[in-house]
């Protein structure tokens, strides 16, 4: 069966395989299988702590390498001028398999360590130099600013003296000025402290100083315009130059202490102007020297980063792969005696030959002659579900997977969703114009898919891109249903000869169209457009159509039970579950659908009886069975048929409720009658007892993980009864509510049509007939407005809402009829997936 052509109808046949891998090829084998990407390894030592496993040492080493790579990446990122990182497909691959693998990794490790130490060294010296440079720059600022201040003070001496006489001057200010004045007189003999401090701390600094010195100080400060950039973190700090005058050694010492503890840097400044300018010259000179050195260091560092950037991508790739390989190796069971690793895992049965080839390849690559041995194990565990998708079906499958992963080998609704999903969407979204817009958008995304698949498109757009094929089909189907509804941007097309003719209209008179014997070939006759009763007609038409579609969809979903029952050998389920359910559904709603179709086919103008209201008919069928008003009778013998149908439906309920539990009960009695007693979980071991022996002979317990996580479902009779009761109630009530639920097709399609009509009449319609240049301008402006609103409200918003409703119809209305969704996803070890996550 493994040779079956893979379809989406059922998930792939899976096999539990055991790999016996000699230790020397273990790494290469896993690497090869990772490239292949279709084996899901099982954890064979779940009760071993993560740090007690066999390959923790290697993982740690890889972690350390990964840390270094991350360090490089962050360094490169921080660099202001972007440093090119050569993309992976451009770089020479680092081969980590084969006989030289260990050596390559060692070399890489050494190389990374070297680069790291070189880079840290460079960073350090760069930082040191920048630090020194910063100090010099600060010193220069301090010198300059204080010079300005001193000069100003010298120039203002006379003013200060004059202000002494000003008795209204505040006391403190007075003090300050006195200080200044005194200092002016003795050629700035007054002691002072100068330095720089972070701007954010300046205020606190001032406050503390004020309190410490009780106001006995004169402080002046100015901003330094350009920010200082920390070479390591790249953070900007802004600083201020301050100069504080105070009197006395103690006070100065206090100022210095406070300043230092607040993180300020102090610079020795001489009060003598000549000495100051000397110092300034010297600082500037040293600054220039330092700048050259710094530039060179920076250049060297950049060169180093460029070298690193060239191979960073491949290093990252190698490190990631190695980590995954060793993590997988940790899942394997290590047989110390025989120096082999035993792996167990799931793989698709039809891929086993490919895996065999990969194993052989790995052996050849590594240059040993001991090949890994693969053999299939028989198991009674449920394998994972693996649906082979391609880029077209992937989106549809994801929609179904997000409801639940199909049980193993169950009929997969994802296959049918490829058509039913866009179709139900289109029933709600039917409009040729809007359909065309989203169709072209999807087509554009598909044309661009090669480029865009590689880029990160952002969350929202990425989602649209992921569903591009769904959108494509949705657009195509919308155009089709739009053609049936004869709707293009709320206008109608006149493709064929209309079946109705309007007589000459006179003012203020309702006119009635005359049938002319033609029949409009496809879709809705455009004559309905603009007719007074058009809404009445389309409502009735769409409502009935949604019921018809809904019942067909549910019937189809119900039929999907059959392949499941056949595949899982539950033939009895066909007549205990499927047949009564089908009869129940068809005798009520199938009958309704037939009535709808029949009613459409009758020409009520010529009929002797009036047209019946089908809704009332259905209600009357339940409330007063056997009575039908002869005036609105649909066909002869209607009461009898309805009574029979009703009886069938009523019989189905106990049938559904009782037969299955009864059969199970009989089965149980039979087994007990033969003298068997259930052994619970133990019986699962027996069928493959000989393999156990075989395995033991070989010296390794087979299927190591077997006993641990097998959930043996013990079917309790009570459970079956309860389950069946719930199932019956759910189905019978569900039939009614689900049929009603399909009316959303009508509601949304109506809402969509009305909304697009309103948009048309509110924007374009008044403008379209306007004469002259104003008309053209208005048409252009309003046209753009109309188009934008069409795209955003009608296509995107309405589209999303229709999408959600189509989703619900599939998840709730259809899936509840057959889908068990009790499986778990197949998650193979795959390097390709690793890169996707990036």
Q: Which residues bind another protein (CB under 8 A)?
A: 49-51, 56, 60, 63-64, 67, 70-71, 201, 204, 207-208, 211-212, 254, 257-258, 260-263
Cβ nearer to another protein, comparing 204 with 627: 204
Cβ nearer to another protein, comparing 70 with 281: 70
Q: How far is the CB of 60 from another protein (least distance, A)?
A: 6
Cβ nearer to another protein, comparing 67 with 339: 67
Q: How far is the CB of 195 from another protein (least distance, A)?
A: 15
Q: How far is the CB of 258 from another protein (least distance, A)?
A: 5
d(CA 424, CA 663): 39
Phi, then psi, of 18 in degrees rounded to 5: -115, 135
Residue 340 forms beta bridges with which residues? Answer: 22, 335
Cβ nearer to another protein, comparing 63 with 79: 63
* 3-state secondary structure at position 399: helix
Cβ nearer to another protein, comparing 63 with 230: 63
Cβ nearer to another protein, comparing 319 with 405: 319
The packing angle between helices 273-329 and 23-36, to 10°, is 100
Go through 663-692 and write b for each residue having 16 or more CB atoms within 10 A of its CB, e for each that does not.
ebeeeeeeeeeeeeeeeeeeebeeebeeee
Cβ nearer to another protein, comparing 258 with 656: 258
Q: Is the CB of residue 763 less than 8 Å from the CB of residue 805?
A: no
By C-alpha distance, which of 719, 14, 97 is closest to 367?
A: 97
Cα three-residue angle 321-323-329, rounded to 5 degrees: 105
Cβ nearer to another protein, comparing 147 with 212: 212
d(CA 588, CA 551): 10
What is the dihedral sign for C-alpha 616, 617, 621, 627?
Answer: positive
Q: How far is the CB of 490 from another protein (least distance, A)?
A: 45
Cβ nearer to another protein, comparing 19 with 219: 219
Q: How far is the CB of 599 from another protein (least distance, A)?
A: 57
Cβ nearer to another protein, comparing 35 with 230: 230
Beta-carbon contacts of residue 433 (< 8 Å; ≥ 6 apart): 482, 488, 489, 790
Cβ nearer to another protein, comparing 61 with 86: 61
Q: How far is the CB of 477 from another protein (least distance, A)?
A: 44
Q: How far is the CB of 51 from another protein (least distance, A)?
A: 4
Q: How far is the CB of 212 from another protein (least distance, A)?
A: 5
Q: How far is the CB of 119 from another protein (least distance, A)?
A: 13
Cβ nearer to another protein, comparing 53 with 140: 53
Q: How far is the CB of 71 from another protein (least distance, A)?
A: 8
Cβ nearer to another protein, comparing 56 with 552: 56
Cβ nearer to another protein, comparing 329 with 732: 329
d(CA 676, CA 668): 10
Cα distances (Å, whole numbers) of residue 483 to 232, 370, 519, 756, 812:
65, 67, 16, 16, 29
Cβ nearer to another protein, comparing 113 with 797: 113
Q: Is the CB of residue 137 less than 8 Å from the CB of residue 287?
A: yes
Query: What are the start-end ranges of the H helices in 614-768?
Result: 614-623, 638-673, 689-698, 706-709, 717-741, 743-762, 764-768
Residue 14 forms beta bridges with which residues? Answer: 348
320's enclosing H/E stretch is: helix 273-329
The packing angle between helices 101-155 and 171-185, to 10°, is 90
Q: How far is the CB of 257 from another protein (least distance, A)?
A: 5
d(CA 140, CA 138): 5
Residue 512, CB-side half-sphere exposure with 13 Å CA sphere? 2
Beta-carbon contacts of residue 624 (< 8 Å; ≥ 6 apart): none
Q: How far is the CB of 331 from another protein (least distance, A)?
A: 16
Q: How far is the CB of 256 from another protein (least distance, A)?
A: 10
Cβ nearer to another protein, comparing 51 with 89: 51
Q: How far is the CB of 221 from another protein (least distance, A)?
A: 17
Cβ nearer to another protein, comparing 261 with 601: 261
* Surface-to-core class of residue 735, CB atoms within 10 Å of its CB (0-12 exposed, 13-18 middle, 19+ buried): buried
* 3-state secondary structure at position 15: strand
Residues making up the chain, counted from first to last: 838
Residue 501 forms beta bridges with which residues? Answer: 514
Q: How far is the CB of 364 from another protein (least distance, A)?
A: 35
Q: How far is the CB of 583 from another protein (least distance, A)?
A: 51
500's enclosing H/E stretch is: strand 500-501
Q: Is the CB of residue 431 less than 8 Å from the CB of residue 482?
A: yes
State the DSSP string of 758-809.
HHHHHTHHHHHT--HHHHHHHHHHHHHHHHHHIIIIIIIIHHHHHHHHHHHI
Q: How far is the CB of 470 from another protein (least distance, A)?
A: 36
d(CA 200, CA 211): 19
């Amino acid at each position: 069966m493994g040779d079956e052509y893979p379809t989406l109808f059922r998930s792939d046949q899976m096999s539990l395989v055991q790999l016996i891998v000699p230790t020397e090829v273990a790494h290469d084998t896993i690497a090869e299988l990772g490239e292949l990407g279709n084996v899901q390894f099982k954890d064979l030592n779940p009760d071993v702590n993560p740090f007690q496993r066999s390959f923790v040492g290697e993982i740690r080493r890889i972690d350390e390498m990964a840390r270094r790579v991350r360090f490089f990446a962050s360094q490169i990122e921080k660099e202001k001028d972007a440093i090119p990182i050569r993309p992976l497909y451009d770089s020479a691959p680092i081969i980590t398999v084969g006989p030289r693998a260990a050596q390559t990794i060692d070399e890489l490790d050494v190389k990374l360590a070297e680069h790291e130490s070189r880079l840290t060294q460079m960073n350090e010296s760069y930082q040191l130099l920048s630090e020194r440079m910063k100090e010099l720059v600060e010193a220069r600022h301090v010198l300059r600013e204080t010079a300005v201040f001193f000069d100003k003070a010298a120039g203002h001496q006379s003013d200060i003296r004059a202000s002494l006489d000003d008795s209204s001057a505040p006391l403190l200010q007075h003090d300050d000025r006195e200080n200044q004045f005194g200092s002016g007189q003795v050629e700035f003999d007054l002691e002072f402290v100068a330095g720089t401090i972070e701007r954010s701390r300046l205020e606190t600094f001032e406050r503390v100083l004020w309190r410490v010195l009780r106001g006995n100080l004169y402080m002046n400060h100015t901003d330094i315009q350009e920010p200082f950039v920390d070479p390591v973190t790249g953070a900007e700090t802004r600083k201020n130059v301050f100069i504080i005058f105070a009197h006395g050694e103690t006070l100065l010492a206090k100022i210095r202490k406070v300043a230092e503890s607040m993180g300020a840097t102090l610079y020795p400044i001489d009060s003598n102007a000549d000495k100051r300018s000397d110092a300034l010259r010297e600082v500037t000179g040293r600054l220039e020297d330092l700048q050259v050195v710094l530039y060179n260091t920076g250049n060297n560092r950049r060169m180093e980063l460029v070298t690193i950037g060239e191979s960073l991508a491949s290093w990252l790739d190698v490190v990631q792969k190695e980590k995954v390989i060793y993590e997988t190796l940790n899942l394997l069971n290590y047989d110390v005696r025989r120096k082999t690793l035993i792996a167990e895992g799931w793989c698709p049965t039809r891929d086993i030959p490919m895996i065999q080839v990969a194993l052989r390849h790995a052996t050849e690559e590594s240059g040993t002659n001991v090949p890994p041995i693969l053999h299939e194990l028989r198991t009674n565990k449920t394998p994972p579900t693996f649906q082979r998708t391609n880029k077209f079906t992937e989106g549809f499958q994801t929609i179904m997977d997000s409801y639940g992963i199909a049980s193993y080998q169950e009929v997969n609704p994802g296959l049918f969703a490829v058509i039913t999903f866009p179709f139900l969407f289109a029933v709600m979204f039917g409009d040729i114009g809007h359909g065309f817009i989203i169709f072209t958008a999807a087509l554009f995304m598909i044309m661009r898919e090669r480029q865009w698949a590689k880029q990160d498109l952002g969350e929202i757009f990425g989602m649209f891109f992921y569903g591009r094929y769904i959108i494509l089909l949705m657009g195509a189907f919308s155009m089709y249903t739009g053609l049936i509804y004869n709707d293009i941007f709320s206008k109608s097309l006149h493709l064929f000869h209309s079946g109705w003719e309007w007589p000459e209209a006179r003012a203020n008179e309702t006119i009635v169209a005359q049938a002319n014997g033609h029949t409009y070939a496809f879709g809705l006759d455009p004559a309905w457009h603009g007719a007074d009763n058009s809404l009445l007609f389309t409502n009735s038409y769409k409502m009935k159509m949604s019921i018809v579609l809904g019942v067909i969809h549910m019937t189809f979903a119900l039929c999907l039970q059959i392949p499941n029952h056949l595949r899982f050998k539950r033939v009895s389920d066909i007549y205990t579950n499927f047949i009564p359910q089908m009869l129940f559904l068809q005798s009520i709603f199938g009958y309704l659908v037939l009535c709808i179709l029949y009613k459409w086919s009758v020409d009520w103008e010529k009929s002797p009886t009036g047209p019946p209201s089908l809704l009332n008919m259905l209600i009357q069928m339940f409330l007063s069975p056997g009575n039908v008003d002869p005036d609105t009778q649909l066909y002869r013998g209607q009461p009898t048929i309805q009574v029979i149908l009703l009886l069938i439906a009523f019989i189905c309920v106990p049938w559904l409720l009782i037969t299955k539990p009864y059969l199970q009960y009989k089965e149980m009695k039979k087994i007990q009658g033969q003298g068997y007693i259930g052994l619970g979980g133990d019986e699962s071991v027996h069928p493959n007892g000989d393999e156990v022996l075989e395995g033991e002979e070989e010296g390794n317990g087979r299927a190591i993980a077997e006993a641990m996580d097998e959930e043996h479902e013990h079917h309790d009779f009570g459970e079956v009864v309860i389950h069946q009761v719930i199932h019956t109630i759910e189905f019978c009530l569900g039939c009614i509510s689900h049929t009603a639920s399909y009316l959303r097709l009508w509601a949304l399609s109506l809402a969509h049509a009305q909304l697009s009509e309103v948009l048309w009449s509110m924007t374009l319609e008044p403008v379209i007939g306007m004469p002259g240049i104003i008309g053209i301008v208005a048409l252009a402006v309003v046209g753009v407005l109309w188009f934008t609103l069409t795209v955003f409200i009608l296509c995107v918003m309405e589209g999303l809402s229709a999408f959600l409703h189509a989703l619900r119809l599939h998840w709730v209305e259809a899936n509840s009829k057959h889908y068990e969704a009790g499986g778990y996803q197949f998650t193979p070890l795959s390097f390709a997936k690793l890169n996707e996550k990036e």
